Each structure stands twice: as structure tokens, then as C-alpha cells.
Amino acid sequence: MRARIGVAFLALALSASADQASMDVGAELIGTCQIDRVVPIDFGDLEQSRNSPNRTAVGAVLFWCSKGLRYKIKADDGLHSSKGSRRMKGEGSVNVDEYLSYDLRPRFSEHDSGMGPLYPVLFEMEAEVRGENYDPLSVGPLRDTVVVTISP
């Protein structure tokens, strides 16, 4: 009760003028893309012969982007590319100076719109190595690392 009286008095003392203002309440959802999981592209054991077949392997990136956000997916040329050709590099003691070129192609569109975090998208990439390229190589493991960027 005392508080109400006090307020009334103050209002009268300020020449009784009123005012009003509109106050905006705003927010903006930041367009976000987030990667949840990565499946490497693993060819496993490449078994040589005198006429080996081409071999394919599939990897994937599971991600989501904010609903309505247009995004594009880009994979770089990896760590060991030469003249536009992606290459794995030998990482064993016997094959450290050897390279195995491979093609990388997306299985789906690299442009789309996000559906939000509850609807992740599996972006699959298929890689292929040619038999004629791995037949002359030395025994041992090979590896490359490709950076996949999903950008609004």
C-alpha cells in the first residue's frame, strides 16, 4: 500500500507527462552447419594381379545445417595431389616414395538446403583406384586426407 502511494506522488511531481515507446524484440538464428560423424574411405587390401580390376570405396560425412540454410559441400584435393589428381601416399618403410592416384566423386548433390539438426544428411563420396595404378606398387599402406567443408 505504501509503495503505491509513493509512486503516485512521484508521477504528479514530474509534470504529469506520459510517454510510450515501442520496443522491438528480435533474434536471428545463426545459419549453422555441423558435422556429426565421418566414415573414412577405406579400400582395404588391394590384391595385385597381372590385370587387377578397378576398386571403389565409399566414405561419408553425416551433418546437418539449419533449416532453410543453403549450403554447398566441397572436398579439397587432399595432401598429395599432383596436376589436379588426388593421390594417396605410401606410409610404410617400403613404399614411402610411392603414390596411388584416385578419383573422388559425390554420390549426391553438393548443393542443397538444410533441414535442421533433427534431420541429418549423409553425404556419401565414392572413390575409385585403377588396377593398372596399384599393380606396380610396393607392399604397404597408403593414405591421404581430404578436407570436406560444408559452408553456407
Partner 1 sequence: MSRPAAGIAATVLAFSLPAVAADTNVDVRANIKGTCVIDQVTAVEFGDLQQGTTAPDRTAPGSVRYWCTKGLVYTVSISNGSNASGSIRRMKGIATTNSTEYLPYTLTTTAPASSTGVGPGALVTLTLNGTVKGTDYNVLSVGQLKDTVVVTIAP
Q: Which residue ranges make up the site for partner 1 (CB under 8 A)? A: 21, 24, 26, 28, 30-35, 38, 40-50, 57, 59, 61, 63, 69, 75, 78, 86, 88, 94-95, 100, 102, 104, 125, 127, 129, 134-152
7: which 3 cell numbers? 509512486
CB of 74: closest distance to partner 1 in angstroms? 9
74: which 3 cell numbers? 566441397
CB of 136: closest distance to partner 1 in angstroms? 5
Q: Cβ of 63: how many Cβ atoms within 10 Å?
A: 21
Residue 110's closest CA among 74, 64, 145?
74
7 versus 122: smaller Cβ distance to partner 1: 122
Residue 89's closest CA among 140, 38, 148?
140
Q: Cβ of 116: how many Cβ atoms within 10 Å?
A: 14
7 versus 94: smaller Cβ distance to partner 1: 94
CA dihedral (4, 10, 14, 20) positive or negative: negative
What radius of gyration, in Å, describes the C-alpha atoms of the chain?
A: 30
16 versus 109: smaller Cβ distance to partner 1: 109
59 and 26 Cβ atoms separated by less than 8 Å:
no
CB of 118: closest distance to partner 1 in angstroms? 17
5 versus 44: smaller Cβ distance to partner 1: 44
6 versus 119: smaller Cβ distance to partner 1: 119
CB of 26: closest distance to partner 1 in angstroms? 7
CB of 137: closest distance to partner 1 in angstroms? 5
